Amino acid sequence: MTNGERDNGLGRAFGLAKGLSAFFTVTPFLYAGVVEYLSWNQAPFNGFVPGFNLALFLPLLSVVGLTEVALSWWMPGRILSGKVPTSPTGPQAAWSGSVQRLFQANLVAFSILESIAVYGLMLFLVGGHPWHFYAFASVSLILMLIRFPRKALWDEALAGMTENNRGVQP
């Protein structure tokens, strides 16, 4: 990889990735606002489906959430390795292939991690237990903070990408 390719869109892609990652990181706090609003203004809030048996639903969404944690590491690795075809549009089309893959891997990881908080919100809306939401949102937020884009990690990932599209995860 040449220096020209490394610089081709990296600054713009990194800035956009940080902005989108920040947006994804803020959304669980917005969901918390909904949880608190319903908990306080509809007290006692028993969910929109009173009497719903969470005995199967909670473990099911817990397994799905854990699967998505694994997927949030596996899928970006596939994108970075070039095993998942990408078709960039808009400003991404001008970025180098490595930068496109870094950006898309970041976007996919944060989309997956944000969905874990959504599962907690679903559990709260159905069952009415705020701790369901906060447990799932905490996992989501902790993993988002771990994966938040850092310039040094992006530079390391770009340096690790070779001509056969192998690389390290940002």
Among candidate residues 115, 40, 36, the one with its CA nearest the CA of residue 71: 115
- The domain in which residue 13 lies consists of 3-160
Residue 74 lies in a domain: yes
Residue 76 lies in a domain: yes
Q: Cα 56 to chain center, whole Å? A: 25
Number of domains in the chain: 1
Residue 152 lies in a domain: yes
Question: DSSP code of 91?
Answer: G
Residue 165 lies in a domain: no
Residue 16 lies in a domain: yes
Each residue's pLDDT tens digit in the chain (170 positions)?
A: 445 444 567 888 899 999 999 999 999 999 999 999 999 998 888 888 877 888 888 999 999 999 999 999 898 888 887 777 766 666 666 677 888 888 889 999 999 999 999 999 999 999 889 999 999 999 999 999 999 999 988 888 888 774 445 444 55
Residue 97 lies in a domain: yes
Q: Token pair for residue 63?
A: 């397994």
Sign (positive or negative) of CA dihedral 69, 70, 73, 78? negative
Residue 80 lies in a domain: yes
Residue 168 lies in a domain: no
Please report where in the chains the tokens 């990889």 appear, as a residue. Answer: 1
3-state SS track over 18-67: HHHHHHHHHHHHHHHHHHHHHHHHCCCCCCCCCCCCHHHHHHHHHHHHHH
